[in-house]
Structure 1
Amino acid sequence: MLRWLANISSRRLLNRIHYVLYDTYQGVTINTDSSGAPTSQFGISQELNHQLHAWYDLLPSAIKPDPDHDGHGLDDAILLMRFHAAGDIIHRPFLLQACALSAGEKPDARMVENAKRCLYHCRGYLNAVQGALTKLSASVEIFVHSTMAVVLLLTFASFSPALAPEVGDVKQLQVQAAAIIQSWSFPESSIETMLSIVRTVRVKCLGR
């Protein structure tokens, strides 16, 4: 029952995050130079991050997974994946903004800090998802798609001068993601396409 309630509350939080970050500003143009982000964006992400950590902190100790521990079982992995997926979404705009800066353009320090938080959650998701993909379920394709998404974000960050030091092990992360996806790939499936994308990206990065 506790895990069921935790999963329901995490879905509600994720819906709120999507609404605040995307629906609220749909069709609205905010003028800002490329080296920074709107002040309101920092405030919104800070509040959502606070709500995310409040959700995690309030989990009963009997079901609260340790985010710094590897080798989670299915139930713990699902909760951790929800935590890291929400954190990734909250901070992803800052990572994309940092990656879009021109060469030599100095990013706002707050942008970089939030982008690093996104990378933390991407790594966390990649570690947690292995515990959720130990057996077939209706969510396998969703989990695999999210695995591809986080490794692509980690790869994008490796091209940013401000973020590259945080992902010096990006090639190992690509191998880890490819192995996860390959275990569920079969001919002419969408998962096979995802695997091809990750492998192609890795090959492109090998020459750097």
Structure 2
Amino acid sequence: QLTGATPISQLGAGFGRLGNGALFRVVEMQPNGFPRVIFPGIPYPAILLLVVAVAATYLLRRRQVGRHIYATGSNEEAARLSGVNVDWTKMYAYTMSGALAGLAGNVLMSRLVTAQPSEGVMYELDAIAAAVIGGASLSGGVGTVAGTMIGAFIIGILRNGLNMSGVSAFIQQIVIGFVVIGAVWIDQVRNRR
């Protein structure tokens, strides 16, 4: 509504530092005026990923709300009968999900140094695929942050390999859809046992 669905660019070099900057980066200016990277440094998005992953793992494994999230995801009625405030737990989980999605959106905007209303479309398929490949169950109550990160790396490698092979974006979605279907099928077989 505010922008009329048009991209906003020229957000400034400072805005792009979060998505494109790196800690301990060493750059030397050459006599011809071009920079030469001596040490690429640790990218800020990677540091942010590590901080969020450690915080989420701590929250899910060591705090009461984490155990309540697992219990509510596994069996909502059993969690309610066990004394868990299911409505508050679901609201907390959805709020954290929205906050982390907003953080990811800011990092993506910072990487592109532009705000596009269509950016991130169908990223939810990648997120679901990463979680399912990482061992999370679509029926709930099972999954770890480390497994989801491994699933995200697998999806990233798969998507990068398909891009390097020249596969179109539409075929990539089909391939990732088949990967999700395969992971869900494996999850269902595992649950039956």
TM-score (norm 2): 0.33
Larger RCO (CA within 8 A; separation ≥ 6): 2
Structure with greater helix percent: 1
- Higher-Rg member (1/2): 2
TM-score (norm 1): 0.31
